[in-house]
Amino acid sequence: MLQALTGGPNLFNQRGPRPKPKDIPMTVVDALKTRISTRAFLDKPVSEPVIRAILEAAKYAPSGGNLQPWHVHVVTGEDLARLKAIIREKQVDNPRGEGSEYHIYPPELTEPYKARRYKTGEDLYATIGVTRDNKMGRLIQFARNFEFFGAPVALFFSIDRQMQPGQWSDLGMFIQSVMLVATEMGLATCAQEAWAIWYKTLGEYLPVPAEHMLFCGMALGYADPDAAINTLRTQRADLSEFVTFRGY
Ligand SMILES: Cc1cc2nc3c(=O)[nH]c(=O)nc-3n(C[C@H](O)[C@H](O)[C@H](O)COP(=O)(O)O)c2cc1C
């Protein structure tokens, strides 16, 4: 049903070859392995029924005590254009935004996380030929976050301030569910914590109720298959680095 809405999965953005004929539905493993953070989108709208279908499926994400502690703001069309224009104007005097209400990364990030973050940044900029010393090139790419990389739909996720780490984890599962369902539907996404630096402006514009904290944005749309930046394929650590088995 989901694929019928979009004409089937878009297979170009796979992390590894998908060893199945196209008429076999995408499995969860396929979706996990083919989802990537897409940073260039086609100028092609996504209809409201499609967005609703994604959220209708993603809402079955689990949450401790079934609290379902998520809120989604969906913005498109003229409303999205206006928001982007506001940020564009504010960025001129304030490229670092308004700060953020939470630390996007730990202030003193240690290894191995620091090296992973560094490599991801380097690999990303390499896809578009931006070298380490090209500060302007890096700034321009960062600013692309606030254009939603050209995506036609923006999602923002917020959570009630009373919520604890457990509920933030629930929110993460919900966000991943959104991204996997979108992948199944042939759509592409990029979660964007960068939007946290504009929390005040977003708080007023969306609006985000005072008792909620904005976590992140998400670009959603159809990936541009010709964009160099979409060729990035990030790697993952071997199980031996993060799994401890006992009893096997
Ligand atoms: C919560 C969250 C926030 C993110 N924020 C940003 C962001 O602001 N800008 C961006 O370009 N990528 C962002 N990313 C994408 C990550 O860099 C990406 O997930 C990671 O490098 C792994 O690559 P992959 O998603 O292609 O597998 C974010 C990802 C997550 C899960």
Tell me, using a 6 A CB cutoff, whether residue 39 lines ligand 1.
yes
pTM beyond cutoff 0.85: yes
Domain count within the chain? 1
The CA 197 to ligand 1 mean position distance, Å, reads 15
Q: Which long-range contacts (CB under 8 A, 24 or more apart) does 212-215 make?
A: 212/71, 212/158, 212/159, 212/160, 212/161, 213/101, 213/102, 213/158, 213/159, 213/160, 213/161, 214/101, 214/156, 214/157, 214/158, 215/157, 215/158, 215/159, 215/168, 215/171
Please state the length of the chain: 248
Ligand 1, atom 18, residue with closest C-alpha:
37
- How much is the mean pLDDT over the chain? 93
The CA 194 to ligand 1 mean position distance, Å, reads 9
What is the mean predicted confidence (pLDDT) over 151-158? 98
Residue 245 falls inside a structural domain: no
Q: Flag the least confident range among 17-26, 36-45, 133-142.
A: 17-26
Structure tokens at 99: 């700060």
Task: Please state the atom number of ligand 1 nearest to the C-alpha of residue 233.
Answer: 26
Please determine, for residue 20, whether its predicted confidence score (pLDDT) is greater than 80.
Answer: no
Query: What does the alpha-carbon distance between residue 34 and residue 67 come to, in Å, rounded to a whole number?
Result: 30
Q: Is the pLDDT higher at 123 or at 21?
A: 123
**Residue of 35, 192, 197, 214 to test ligand 1 pocket, by largest number of atoms within 8 Å of CB:** 192
What's the confidence (pLDDT) of residue 195?
Answer: 98
Q: Domain limits at 72?
A: 2-102+148-227
The CA 29 to ligand 1 mean position distance, Å, reads 19
What is the mean predicted confidence (pLDDT) over 93-115? 96
**CATH code of the domain containing 83:** 3.40.109.10
Residue 244 falls inside a structural domain: no
Please determine, for residue 108, whether its predicted confidence score (pLDDT) is greater than 60.
Answer: yes
Structure tokens at 124: 């990303």
Residue 142 falls inside a structural domain: no
Give the pLDDT band of residue 11 (cuts 50, 70, 90).
very low
State CA 165 to chain mean position distance: 20
